[in-house]
């Protein structure tokens, strides 16, 4: 067993990492740069283009049934988009599963539109330099229509409660070559890695901040990114096998964060570094 595989070893590792990377003047400078950018942009989040594209995709008939997604039930009834993201993931009786927005969209494409969703599943998220994927655009559109909605994930169905428990378990599960869990980086308040603030996802405030700001336009990449992508990217930071879009592991983590975020107000698509 290497040193990093015992608990205190991993913490010492993190502390050393932080100490090395977190010179205060660098942190302040980094914050300034992004604050300045946000100010410059004012209300003009470039996500607006992705949102428009998403709306167009939502309304365009496609698939063997040649229908649009407009009758897709995102949890608040067929065709109701407003506020839907603030209550996802949730249990869907037709799919007999708890689904997040990405899994639900794929389900509707397949069952309502009669589409072969393999293309969407093979590449749900953009690579650097891409224009954005269909899934990203649709999620941006739904997020935009959920702005100001209060986060309130249902927890009545046993499967929803189960997802929360699974999410909690994964959140604290230490794995990978560094023996990190999500909690290693996200269960203390006011911590940073490099220039990035690390929200404490175990508190209502921290989870609320994170949950309500995704999907987000990432300035550094010039792309809109979804919460599913964020999970995949953090899984990579943890050196885990890659999380798949719409998988139970992702849905469980989103449920854990979303339930912890209860009462926060949706503000996505946000602007991130």
- Which spans of this chain sit near ligand HEC (rule: CB under 6 A)? 180, 182, 184-186, 193, 196, 198-199, 209-210, 213, 230-231, 234-235, 237-238, 253, 272-273
Instruction: Dig out the tokens for 252 from the structure.
Output: 């469980």
Q: Which is nearer to ligand HEC, 32 or 59 (CB)?
A: 32
Q: Which is nearer to ligand HEC, 73 or 168 (CB)?
A: 168
Q: Which is nearer to ligand HEC, 57 or 197 (CB)?
A: 197
- The residue whose Cβ lies closest to ligand HEC is 182
Spatial separation of the C-alpha atoms in residues 213 and 226, rounded to whole Å: 10
- Residue 8 beta carbon to ligand HEC: minimum distance, rounded to whole angstroms: 17
Buried b (16+ CB within 10 A) or exposed e, 103-120: bbbbbbbbebbebebeeb
Q: What is the sign, positive or negative, of the torsion defined by CA atoms of 54, 55, 61, 65?
A: positive
Please say whether the beta carbons of 259 and 97 come within 8 A: no
Instruction: Dig out the tokens for 211 from the structure.
Output: 């949950």
Spatial separation of the C-alpha atoms in residues 270 and 273, rounded to whole Å: 10
Q: Which is nearer to ligand HEC, 81 or 257 (CB)?
A: 257
Q: Which residues lie closer than 8 Å to 50 by C-beta, 6 or more apart?
A: 132, 136, 137, 140, 141, 217, 224, 269
CA 17, chain centre distance (Å): 25
- Residue 234 beta carbon to ligand HEC: minimum distance, rounded to whole angstroms: 3
Q: Which is nearer to ligand HEC, 157 or 272 (CB)?
A: 272
- Residue 230 beta carbon to ligand HEC: minimum distance, rounded to whole angstroms: 5
- Asked, as a colleague might, if the bond just before 89 is cis with ω within 30 of 0, I would say yes
Q: Which is nearer to ligand HEC, 64 or 242 (CB)?
A: 242
- Residue 115 beta carbon to ligand HEC: minimum distance, rounded to whole angstroms: 29
- Residue 74 beta carbon to ligand HEC: minimum distance, rounded to whole angstroms: 21
């Amino acid at each position: 067993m290497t040193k990093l595989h015992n608990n205190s070893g991993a913490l010492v590792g993190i502390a050393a990492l932080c100490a090395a990377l977190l010179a205060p003047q660098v942190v302040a400078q980094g914050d300034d740069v992004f604050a300045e950018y946000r100010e410059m942009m004012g209300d003009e989040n470039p996500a607006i283009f992705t949102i428009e594209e998403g709306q167009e995709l939502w309304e365009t008939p496609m698939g063997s049934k040649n229908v649009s997604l407009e009758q897709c039930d995102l949890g608040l009834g067929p065709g109701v988009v407003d506020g839907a993201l603030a209550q996802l993931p949730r249990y869907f009786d037709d799919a007999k599963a708890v689904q997040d927005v990405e899994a639900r969209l794929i389900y509707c494409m397949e069952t309502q539109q009669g589409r072969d969703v393999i293309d969407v599943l093979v590449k749900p998220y953009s690579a650097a330099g891409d224009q954005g994927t269909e899934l990203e655009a649709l999620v941006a559109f739904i997020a935009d229509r959920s702005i100001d909605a209060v986060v309130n994930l249902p927890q009545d169905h046993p499967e929803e409660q189960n997802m929360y428990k699974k999410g909690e378990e994964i959140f604290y599960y230490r794995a990978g070559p560094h023996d990190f869990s999500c909690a290693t980086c996200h269960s203390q308040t006011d911590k940073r890695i490099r220039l990035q603030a690390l929200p404490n996802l175990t508190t209502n405030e921290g989870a609320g901040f994170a949950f309500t700001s995704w999907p987000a336009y990432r300035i550094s990449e010039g792309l809109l990114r979804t919460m599913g992508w964020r999970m995949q990217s953090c899984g990579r930071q943890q050196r885990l096998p890659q999380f798949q879009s719409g998988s139970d592991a992702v849905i469980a983590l989103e449920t854990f964060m979303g339930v912890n975020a209860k009462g926060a107000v949706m503000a996505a698509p946000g602007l991130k570094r």
